Amino acid sequence: MSLLRAHLGTTLRSARVAQGRTLRDVAKSARVSLGYLSEVERGQKEASSELINAICSALDLNLSTLLTEVVAQVKSHETPALTVVDDAA
Amino acid sequence: MSLLRAHLGTTLRSARVAQGRTLRDVAKSARVSLGYLSEVERGQKEASSELINAICSALDLNLSTLLTEVVAQVKSHETPALTVVDDAA
């Protein structure tokens, strides 16, 4: 099973990049260090729920909007059901 | 903004209760202490991504299924948009 923090990080980074914002800018708004935010984005640190909220606020994102995006990411990494291939075709 | 760990905990507890399973049973399957699982369910501890996966496996849940339920929970706690009430009616 893939790791939640990896998907959370990828999603946060995508949201930031889509807004054309720098790590420095978002870290400042969220009142976290640039290094810490960078580690969260790379899935190397577990962010506390409070920190996730602070980053969401800095990005002007609802928690539910962020998590909906995370669900899509997680689904795309889950093992798909086996498909029957018709060799006779 | 409400806290992810609170919604995660509520959702994990609901899934366990829906399966008619005890904290002891799920803690054993997930190889965590009963006290720790209980704190996670009550939203008092942040569970690591690895631990969330272990609890999901113990409950035979996909991470995406769990998170979809969490999104529904989070949404139900977010401030709804203001609605215009027609006083003249």
- Burial tier of B6 (Cβ tally within 10 Å: 0-12, 13-18, 19+): middle
The model carries a pTM of 0.86
Q: Is CATH 1.20.1260.10 correct for B4-73?
A: no
Phi/psi-derived region of residue A43, left when phi > 0, alpha when psi is between -120 and 50, beta in every other case: left
Q: In terms of CA atoms, which chain A residue is nearest residue B57?
A: A1
Does the model's ipTM exceed the 0.90 cut?
no
Q: In terms of CA atoms, which chain B residue is nearest residue A79?
A: B62
Report pLDDT for B82. 66
Chain A residue numbers touching B1 (CB-CB < 8 A): 53, 56-57, 62-63
Find, among A25, A28, A29, A10, the residue nearest to A71 by Cα.
Answer: A10
**Which tens digit of pLDDT belongs to each residue from A19-77?**
999 999 999 999 999 999 999 999 999 999 999 999 999 999 999 999 999 999 999 98
Please state which CATH number belongs to domain A4-76: 1.10.260.40
Cα–Cα distance list, A58 to A74, A89, B62 (Å): 23, 54, 30
Report pLDDT for A79. 75
The answer to whether the Cβ–Cβ distance between A75 and B57 falls below 8 Å is no
Q: How far apart are CA A4 and CA A53, in angstroms?
A: 16
| Contacts of residue B54, Cβ cutoff 8 Å, sequence gap at least 6 | B30, B31, B32
Picking from A53, A62, A78, the nearest residue to B62 by CB comes out as A78
Crossing angle for the helix pair B49-58 and B23-30, nearest 10 degrees?
A: 120
* Residues written for chain B: 89
Q: Provide the 10 A C-beta neighbour count for residue A54.
A: 20
Residue A80's SS3 state is coil
The predicted model gives B41-59 an average pLDDT of: 97
Picking from B46, B49, B67, the nearest residue to A3 by CB comes out as B49
Least confident among A43-52, A73-82, B78-87 = B78-87
Q: Which residue ranges make up each domain of chain A?
A: 4-76
Phi/psi-derived region of residue A31, left when phi > 0, alpha when psi is between -120 and 50, beta in every other case: left
